[in-house]
Amino acid sequence: MSFDRIAPVYDTLSRLVYGKSMVASQRHFLAAISSHATVLIIGGGTGWIVQELFAVNSTCSVVYVEASQEMIRQTEKKIKPKDASRIRFVWSEEIPVGAVYDCIITNFFLDLFSEQHASNRIHQIKNILKEDGCWIVTDFVDEGRWWQKILLKSMYIFFRTLSKIEATSLPPWRLQLEREGLRRKASQKFYHGFIESSLYVHVHKPLT
């Protein structure tokens, strides 16, 4: 799986199809991230999300994990010199281990995987999220409308052809997050309900 081929036009394509909805959905919960938070962004794309985050949070630090080298290069160009020490880039398709984070952001990431692999990724990510930490998930949802099904099918054909993603359909990511014990604190829908941004919390369960 690689987004190198479409990295130069990815943002333009998303705007052509979804207008401002994709950007608005990913911005929505950034202000909820606490000061001095350690933030993990997985599959951050071309990096504009980091610019937005640093604009609303002047003290957080970011680990930016991206499978596409071209996406990382584009992100590096967007980082202001004064913010360079606040971000570390990781070129990898794997979920990083060895640290835990106050906040994790996955934007249009879980939809890349089959149902089983999405479940595995969610479990891995939960394990590196601090107790009471937040997870901002923004992704597509299928509410059964005919036009949503057409868009989903078209997108999966497009990205399987150009980027070799494994998924052929949208995994039930909301149900999978709930099964992992993550509590949805707030959510907001965009693009007529086709895109949802949700703020989940890793709630500590006391020993009994």
Phi then psi dihedrals of residue 172, to 5 deg: -80, 65
Q: From CA 36, how far away is CA 61, in angstroms rounded?
A: 7
Residue 207 pLDDT: 42
Residue 1 pLDDT: 59
Whether residue 83 is contained in a domain is answered as yes
CATH of the domain at 86: 3.40.50.150
Whether residue 1 is contained in a domain is answered as no
Profile the chain (208 residues) by mean pLDDT over runs of 10 residues. 67 81 96 97 92 96 94 94 96 92 97 95 96 96 93 89 84 96 96 97 66
Domain with 126, as residue range(s), is 7-202
Counting the structural domains of the chain, the total is: 1
Question: What would the DSSP string read from start to end of 10-25?
Answer: HHHHHHHHHTTHHHHH
Residue 41 pLDDT: 98
Whether residue 12 is contained in a domain is answered as yes
Whether residue 67 is contained in a domain is answered as yes
Whether residue 208 is contained in a domain is answered as no
Whether residue 207 is contained in a domain is answered as no
Local structure of 38: helix, strand or coil: strand
Phi then psi dihedrals of residue 194, to 5 deg: -80, -25
For 57-166, strand residue ranges (E) read: 61-66, 87-91, 101-107, 129-140
Whether residue 76 is contained in a domain is answered as yes
Tokens of 135: 């997870």
